Structure 1
Amino acid sequence: MMEITWLNQMVSEPYYLFHFLAFFSYIPVRCSAAQVLSPQFSSHLLHREIQAVITFSLLTVVKMVKEETWEAFIADTLFYAKIFLFGIAMIMDYHLAFWYMLVFSVMYIFTQQPPYQSLGTSNHLTPLQLETLLSDGNTSRFWLVEFRALSSSTCVNTSRFFPELSITYSNKNLSFGIVDLGLFPNAAEKFGISLGSSDKLPTFILFESGVEITRFPELDFVAKAFNPPISKKLLCRHFELDRHLLDYINGK
């Protein structure tokens, strides 16, 4: 079932389809080049290709262990694959390398990695719907809201966290919502989010009875090299989701 899902995405998503075609194109190019290259150069090129494959495989294994989401793993893997393909193409012929650079640039401009599709138990909200829910005393006491813009690679890479957290922690007292600032950019200023700063997205805000009580990242947050990446564990700790769940269970 998983294989069928990936095949469907490969065909239907331009991001995956164009990457597959770009990488696959190296095979006929390599076969054609083998007929005109000298035996010495072909042996040298084959040696470099083997080195590239081994190094790429090691990096892929490391990323598979370190990355928490498939979206981030795929993005990093494709990035490394493009670097190695460009390097091998440069050894073969610099014209081919620049052709690949042009192809990758066009894909970057016109295609976008699709985010995680499932919503879990979270709700897609417009800013007006969110304001209505926050002001309505009959809804959940707590609302944890993710403000995202899917033009941001960080938002795509972390798009799996929020739905999975909602499945575990949503209850009658705590609800989860998602606001797409790519569709509603004017709402960013109202909630104190800077769209011009990539380190501010995604932003997660916890509301209690319609009033913001905490957010991540904080308003005075400064992006640094040693800041921990967004993870489910970090969000659980910051918003004390385990405590909220225990309070709900004990209060039944």
Structure 2
Amino acid sequence: TLWCFIKIIFIRELFHSFQFRQDCFLGQNKIRKSQNSGTGSGKINKNVFRVSKEIETEWSDFCKLLVCSTVKFGLPVLKMALMNSLKAMRKDVKILLKPYYWVNILLSISFICAKKLPYVCEFVFSFLESKCEIDSRESEILFFLMIVIMIRTRKAGSVNMISYLSSSFMYTKIANIILWFYVDFKMGSLYLILFTLVGLLLPEPTYSGPENIVYFRTLLALDDEVERDKRITWLVCFYTAWNPGCVNFAPVFAQISAQYDLDNLKFGKIDVGRYPEAAEKYAINDSSISKQLPTIILFQNGKPVMRRPTFDTKNTLIKFVFTEENVKAAFDLNNLYKNCKSNPLSKTKKKQEKKPTVDGRLCTYHGGNG
């Protein structure tokens, strides 16, 4: 909003400046005509000075307005963005203290550290002539690794430090295996053993915080639950267990469900990898190259009314970044929460772990009061 405001002011002032420059040009033409006719020679300097003074004053006012608007509107936005960044950084640092992350970081940078740290490189690579230098082949492997990581993290929809690291660990460790084997077979074998042990003993930690999510086991269970009480608004996430974007979004959706859950505002998930009929019904591409995973659909009065990602008028998929702020803004969750809270259901539902659907199939409830 601030950037659009600044651009509008800039375009307006640029237009005014163009008008003044045009007036200056016309004034100069008049001066030339008066010079040719032999009249008005005493007014030449005054006209030029007047027009240039007006341009200078106009641009001075524009600069003052630009600075004032930036200070007035930009500082609160900058302060808010800085606070959000610090909050997210503190959260990421707490997660990085878990053994899985710092052990994998050490494995990912092991070769570069062994090559570039003084004394370490002389001890580890004592049998090489260039002990502490990276040769051309090793540089090619490292540059190729950087390109692969950038492509894969972009495709996975990584939006924070933790998701970037999780997406890159596998590629960095494979590159380190190649580099260690390239230098020495014994060192490569030792690194491969460490790589295998870490993968077996330190799996990636999953989200263990609060959540209020209904996990639907069948498409029929989802349809029955959505249509059973049309006063309840449902926000349902269609996901697969193997998609990196879905894995990265899982803790975000869990936190949102814990924050906004009400008796008439519920959150659900269904695995379209296990139940492809759900993907087929709601037109979700569940292939390995799909850009529609995850997909969130908002149900009101038993019908889908909004979804992300969505399509434009040309049936082209509009990319959507699944961050907590984007999801809240796209579905207007704050106002939706207020509306649902101001119109509660007449009967409070009892807490229960499992509830049978019409055909006897089950949908599992996790937490909350659903």
Aligned with residue 267 of structure 2, among 150, 155, 176: 176
Match of 2:247 in 1: 156
In structure 2, relative to structure 1, the CA distance for the partners of 1:6 and 1:182 (3 Å cut) is farther
Give the ranges of 4+ consecutive aligned residues of structure 1 lying more than 2 Å apart after TM superposition.
Answer: 18-27, 33-36, 43-46, 66-70, 79-97, 112-119, 219-224, 248-252
Helix, strand or coil: the match of 1:123? Answer: strand
Q: TM-score, normalised by structure 1?
A: 0.65
Shift of 1:159: 1.1
Residue 209, structure 1, aligned to residue 301, structure 2:
yes
Shift of 1:123: 1.2
Cα contact 1:140–1:172 (8 A) shared by 2:
no
Match of 2:321 in 1: 229
In structure 2, relative to structure 1, the CA distance for the partners of 1:124 and 1:195 (3 Å cut) is same
Aligned with residue 124 of structure 1, among 208, 215, 219: 215
Shift of 1:77: 4.6
Cα contact 1:148–1:201 (8 A) shared by 2:
yes
Match of 1:218 in 2: 310
Higher relative contact order (CA 8 A, sep 6+): 1
Match of 2:24 in 1: none
Match of 1:243 in 2: 335
Q: Any stretches of 5+ residues in structure 1 without a counterpart? A: 11-15
Q: How many angstroms apart in 1 are the aligned matches of 2:110 and 2:164?
A: 23
Match of 1:195 in 2: 286
Q: TM-score, normalised by structure 2?
A: 0.46
In structure 2, relative to structure 1, the CA distance for the partners of 1:135 and 1:249 (3 Å cut) is closer
Shift of 1:45: 5.3
Helix, strand or coil: the match of 1:165? Answer: helix
Q: Amino acid of the residue matched to residue 132 of structure 2?
A: S
Cα contact 1:206–1:215 (8 A) shared by 2:
yes
Cα contact 2:231–2:264 (8 A) shared by 1:
yes
Q: How many angstroms apart in 1 are the aligned matches of 2:254 and 2:124?
A: 49
Q: How many angstroms apart in 2 are the aligned matches of 1:87 and 1:222?
A: 41
In structure 2, relative to structure 1, the CA distance for the partners of 1:129 and 1:202 (3 Å cut) is same
Match of 2:367 in 1: none
In structure 2, relative to structure 1, the CA distance for the partners of 1:68 and 1:250 (3 Å cut) is farther
Helix, strand or coil: the match of 1:81? Answer: helix
Give the greater-gyration-radius structure (CA).
2
Residues 87-98 of structure 1 aligned to structure 2 (within 5 Å): 88-89=179-180, 92=183
Cα contact 1:114–1:156 (8 A) shared by 2:
no
In structure 2, relative to structure 1, the CA distance for the partners of 1:123 and 1:216 (3 Å cut) is same
Q: Amino acid of the residue matched to residue 248 of structure 1?
A: C
Helix, strand or coil: the match of 1:157? Answer: helix
Helix, strand or coil: the match of 1:200? Answer: coil
Cα contact 2:308–2:320 (8 A) shared by 1:
no
Q: How many angstroms apart in 2 are the aligned matches of 1:92 and 1:223?
A: 46
In structure 2, relative to structure 1, the CA distance for the partners of 1:91 and 1:44 (3 Å cut) is farther
Q: How many angstroms apart in 1 are the aligned matches of 2:191 and 2:272?
A: 33
Match of 2:347 in 1: none
